[in-house]
Amino acid sequence: MQISSALASKPWVGLILVISLALLAVGCDQTGLTPTPVPNPVEGQTPGDVKYYPSDQPVRLGIQRFYEGNFGLAQRYFQDAVEKSPNDVTAWIGLAASYDRLGRFDLADQAYEAAARLEGPSVRLLNNEGYSFMLRGDLKTARAKFQAALRLEPNNKTTLNNIKLLDDSTKFIERSANGEPCGSVDCSQ
């Protein structure tokens, strides 16, 4: 009878007791402050299972800027990506390709070397390196890179297109009769 007399003399104690019991009852069904993740019916995984890679956003933006022709901004995004995730081969190749388009072949070579340490001489790496040498005007090294890519994957469309581009570019080189490039000598003869 002590509880009932305490409740009678101090009604707020009873109110606190009722609220506490109600909160306990509601809390029994809760597993935490957030609802339990529901598995994705397509992938069969819960949101907590999805892994986030820190370089995903910068790589995506780097690729987008690269295809827009904004190579300086692409380089910055790819640089951010390799700093956040140094084992991301796509980010290293994107960084190297951006440097190629900016004419920074010394930095491109460093980025290609980093990608090669991670992935080895893959078709995509050899194609990008070959294109880099084509941009530099070193067609012999470019051809060697493309041939190495073809040995790995003989029917790779990118490699075949790069070789066609290389072959077509050699047809348009203008030289004088003695082999000097036009522009430095008169080729009208």
Which tens digits make up the pLDDT trace of 8-21?
566 655 656 555 55
**pLDDT at position 29 over 80:** no
**Torsion, Cα of 109, 114, 119, 121 (10° steps):** 30
CA 29 from centre of chain: 42
**pLDDT at position 55 over 60:** no
Buried (b) or exposed (e) across 85-117, using 16+ Cβ within 10 A?
beebbbbbbbbbbbbbbeebbebbeebbebbbe
Instruction: Name the band, by pLDDT with cuts 50, 70 and 90, for residue 33.
Output: very low
Which CATH class name applies to 51-120? mainly alpha
Mean pLDDT within 146-168: 94
For residue range 107-150, list pLDDT tens digits in order: 999 999 999 999 999 999 999 999 999 999 899 999 999 999 99
Instruction: Name the band, by pLDDT with cuts 50, 70 and 90, for residue 56.
Output: confident
Task: For the chain, give the mean pLDDT.
Answer: 78
Instruction: Name the band, by pLDDT with cuts 50, 70 and 90, for residue 34.
Output: very low
Of the given ranges (6-20, 30-44, 164-178), which has the lowest mean pLDDT?
A: 30-44
Per-residue confidence (pLDDT) for residue 169, from 0 to 100: 77
Within the chain, all domains assigned CATH 1.25.40.10 are found at 51-120
Query: Per mean pLDDT, which of 34-38, 116-120, 173-177 is the most reliable?
Result: 116-120
